[in-house]
Amino acid sequence: MKNEDSMIPLLFSGLGEEAENALKSAGRLRKWHRGDLIVSEGDECKGLFLLMAGSAAEQKYTPAGDYSTICLLHPGDCFGEELLYSEENKYASALEAVSEVEIFCVPTEQLFCLMESFPEIRENFHQVIAKRFRSLKQMITILSQKTVRQKIAYYLLTLAEEQGGDRVVLPVSKEVISKLLAIPRPSFSRELSLMEAEGRISISARTIGIADMPSLKKDIGEV
């Protein structure tokens, strides 16, 4: 289980009272409903979005209206941080709420002023960027797996490590997860059922019990 400290958004972690109050005063909390488009591809990035509650998906749409899910954002994750230092300040992908979400929005200029005044906020922001790159690298590793089984196994093992146990809760629906893993929904469901029949996992709605951890690790080439 995660401890209480792990639930504090990284941007706010370890701040003194003055810095924390200044950061809270600089932004505002906004809410979106499931299915709402929070930003569209091509929109101008005017600040940092910090997810406080719920889940959102970064989506890349085609001209035909199809889309791929690039990554999922959960409480504590940020969106738009890579654009704040870039000459290109337009979003290359869309952000969609996949549940009820609350996002703390901090305008770019105010965030930069805060980082000048409070080195701890600047350090936390740099850690936010580093976390984003680690997450993207992890997602590339999952997508580079050759088979549907390997992608699912790697993803479940990643969740088990993050959630600290052999029973993991999918953060969003199976449909969104299948998009994230670039697996057709029927193939995703079929492979999960097969893994359950083989005794590797047990499935109850969005909770998946990992019954045979060694076999999952063997599936992805770990001993």
Domains, the chain:
4-142 (2.60.120.10), 145-219 (1.10.10.10)
Task: For CA atoms 22, 114, 81, 4, give the dihedral sign.
Answer: negative
Q: What is the residue-averaged pLDDT of the chain?
A: 89
Return the top range by mean pLDDT from 55-69, 75-89, 100-114: 100-114
Q: Collapsing DSSP states into helix, strand and coil, what is residue 42?
A: coil
pLDDT of residue 215: 92
Predicted model pTM:
0.77
pLDDT of residue 8: 61
pLDDT of residue 2: 39
Mean pLDDT over 191-218 rounds to 94
Q: Answer yes or no: is pLDDT of 65 > 80.
A: no
Q: 90 - beta bridge partners?
A: 44
**Phi/psi-derived region of residue 184, left when phi > 0, alpha when psi is between -120 and 50, beta in every other case:** beta
